[in-house]
Structure 1
Amino acid sequence: MNHMENDKDNQIVFEELAKKISSKIEDENYTKYSVKRGLRNSDGTGVLVGLTEIGDVRSYIMCEGEKIPTEGKLMYRGLNIMDLVNGFQKEKRLGFEECCYLLLFGKLPTQAQLNQFTELLGDYRELPEEFTENHILKAPSNNLMNKIARSVLTLYSYDDNPDDTSIANVLRQSIQLISRFPILATYGYQAKRHYYDKESLFIHMPQKNLSTAENILYLTRPDSKYTKLEVELLDLALVLHAEHGGGNNSTFTTHVISSTGTDTYSAIAGAIGSLKGPLHGGANSMVLEMIEDFKANIENWEDEEEVAAYVEKVLRKEAFNHSGLIYGMGHAVYTLSDPRAVLLKEKAEALSKEKGMEREFSLYKNIELVTPDIFKRVKENDKVVCANVDFYSGFVYNMLNIPRDLHTPIFVIARIAGWSAHRIEEIISGGRIIRPAYKNVAKGMEYLPMEERY
Structure 2
Amino acid sequence: MDNKQVIKVLSDSIAVTSNIDKDLFTKMGVKRGLRNEDHSGVLAGLTRVGDVVGYERQEDGTLKPIPGKLYYRGIDVEELVHGIQADNRLGFEETAFLLLSGKLPTKENLQAFSSLLAQTMPLNHTATMNILSLKGKNIMNILARSVLELYTYDQDPDDITPDNLIHQSINLIAKFPSIIALAYQVLRHDQQGRSLHIRHPHEDFSVAENFLYMMKGPGKYTELDVRILDLALILHADHGGGNNSTFSVRVTSSTETDTYSAIAAGIGSLKGPLHGGANVKVNGMLADMKKNIKDWNDVEEIDAYLTKVLNKEAYDRTGLIYGIGHAVYTISDPRAGLLKEMARELAKEKGREDEFRFMELIEERGVEVFLNYKKAGAKQRTCINVDYYSGFVYDAIGLPEEVFTPIFAMARIVGWTAHRIEELNFSSKRIIRPAYKNVRPLQEFVPMKDRK
Which bracket does the TM-score occupy, shorter chain normalised? over 0.9
TM-fit CA distance, 1:309: 1.7
Task: List runs of 5+ in structure 2 lacking aligned partners.
Answer: none
Q: In 1, are the aligned partners of 2:180 and 2:403 still within 8 Å (CA)?
A: yes
- Is 1:68 the counterpart of 2:58? The answer is no
TM-fit CA distance, 1:364: 1.3
- Correspondence for 1:432: 430
TM-fit CA distance, 1:127: 1.2
TM-fit CA distance, 1:205: 0.7
Q: In 2, are the aligned partners of 1:316 and 1:378 still within 8 Å (CA)?
A: no
1:109 pairs with 105, 120, 124, which one?
Answer: 105
**Counterpart code for 1:362:** R
Q: In 2, are the aligned partners of 1:141 and 1:188 still within 8 Å (CA)?
A: no
**Counterpart code for 2:403:** L
Give per-residue Cα distances to partners, 1:50-106, cap 9 Å, x unaligned.
110111011111222221111100000000000000011110100000000000011
TM-fit CA distance, 1:230: 0.6
Task: Report the Cα distance in structure 1 between the residues aligned to 2:418 and 2:257, rounded to whole angstroms.
Answer: 16
Task: Report the Cα distance in structure 2 between the residues aligned to 1:372 and 1:407, rounded to whole angstroms.
Answer: 24
- Correspondence for 1:5: none
- Correspondence for 2:119: 123
Q: In 1, are the aligned partners of 2:118 and 2:207 still within 8 Å (CA)?
A: no
- Correspondence for 2:416: 419
- Correspondence for 2:36: 41
CA RMSD of aligned residues (A): 1.3
Once the two structures are superposed, the pairs formed by residues 152-163 of structure 1 within 5 Å of their partners are: 152-163=147-158
Task: Report the Cα distance in structure 1 between the residues aligned to 2:416 and 2:344, rounded to whole angstroms.
Answer: 30
Identity of aligned residues (%): 53
Task: Report the Cα distance in structure 2 between the residues aligned to 1:33 and 1:71, rounded to whole angstroms.
Answer: 34
TM-fit CA distance, 1:128: 2.1
Q: In 2, are the aligned partners of 1:317 and 1:323 still within 8 Å (CA)?
A: yes
Q: In 2, are the aligned partners of 1:276 and 1:408 still within 8 Å (CA)?
A: yes
Task: Report the Cα distance in structure 1 between the residues aligned to 2:90 and 2:299, rounded to whole angstroms.
Answer: 36
Q: In 2, are the aligned partners of 1:125 and 1:183 still within 8 Å (CA)?
A: yes
Once the two structures are superposed, the pairs formed by residues 276-291 of structure 1 within 5 Å of their partners are: 276-291=271-286
Q: In 1, are the aligned partners of 2:367 and 2:384 still within 8 Å (CA)?
A: no
1:358 pairs with 349, 353, 356, which one?
Answer: 353
- Is 1:328 the counterpart of 2:328? The answer is no
- Is 1:225 the counterpart of 2:220? The answer is yes
TM-fit CA distance, 1:312: 1.4
Once the two structures are superposed, the pairs formed by residues 242-257 of structure 1 within 5 Å of their partners are: 242-257=237-252
TM-fit CA distance, 1:395: 0.5
Once the two structures are superposed, the pairs formed by residues 99-248 of structure 1 within 5 Å of their partners are: 99-133=95-129, 135-223=130-218, 225-248=220-243
Q: In 1, are the aligned partners of 2:251 and 2:431 still within 8 Å (CA)?
A: yes
Q: In 2, are the aligned partners of 1:298 and 1:306 still within 8 Å (CA)?
A: yes
- Correspondence for 1:18: 11
- Correspondence for 1:300: 295
Task: Report the Cα distance in structure 1 between the residues aligned to 2:52 and 2:146, rounded to whole angstroms.
Answer: 31
Give per-residue Cα distances to partners, 1:294-334, cap 9 Å, x unaligned.
11110122323321221111112221122111011000000
Once the two structures are overlaid, the 10-residue window that deviates more, 267-276 or 356-365, is 356-365
Q: In 2, are the aligned partners of 1:302 and 1:359 still within 8 Å (CA)?
A: no
Q: In 1, are the aligned partners of 2:185 and 2:197 still within 8 Å (CA)?
A: yes
Q: In 1, are the aligned partners of 2:198 and 2:214 still within 8 Å (CA)?
A: yes
- Correspondence for 2:89: 93
**Counterpart code for 2:98:** L
- Correspondence for 1:346: 341
**Counterpart code for 1:434:** I
- Correspondence for 2:444: 446
TM-fit CA distance, 1:350: 0.7
Give per-residue Cα distances to partners, 1:374-417, cap 9 Å, x unaligned.
11221223431100001110010000110110000000000000
Task: Report the Cα distance in structure 1 between the residues aligned to 2:351 and 2:272, rounded to whole angstroms.
Answer: 32
SS in 1 for 2:103: coil
Corresponding residue pairs, total: 445
- Correspondence for 1:52: 47
TM-score, normalising length from structure 2? 0.96
Task: List runs of 5+ in structure 1 lacking aligned partners.
Answer: 1-8
The list of structure 1 runs, each at least 4 consecutive aligned residues, that deviate by more than 6 angstroms after superposition, is none
TM-fit CA distance, 1:12: 6.5
TM-score, normalising length from structure 1? 0.96
Task: Report the Cα distance in structure 2 between the residues aligned to 1:267 and 1:247, rounded to whole angstroms.
Answer: 16
Task: Report the Cα distance in structure 2 between the residues aligned to 1:356 and 1:161, rounded to whole angstroms.
Answer: 51
The 1:123/1:51 distance shift into structure 2, 3 A limit, reads: same
Task: Report the Cα distance in structure 2 between the residues aligned to 1:302 and 1:177, rounded to whole angstroms.
Answer: 45
SS in 1 for 2:71: strand
Once the two structures are overlaid, the 10-residue window that deviates more, 214-223 or 141-150, is 214-223
SS in 1 for 2:108: helix
SS in 2 for 1:386: coil
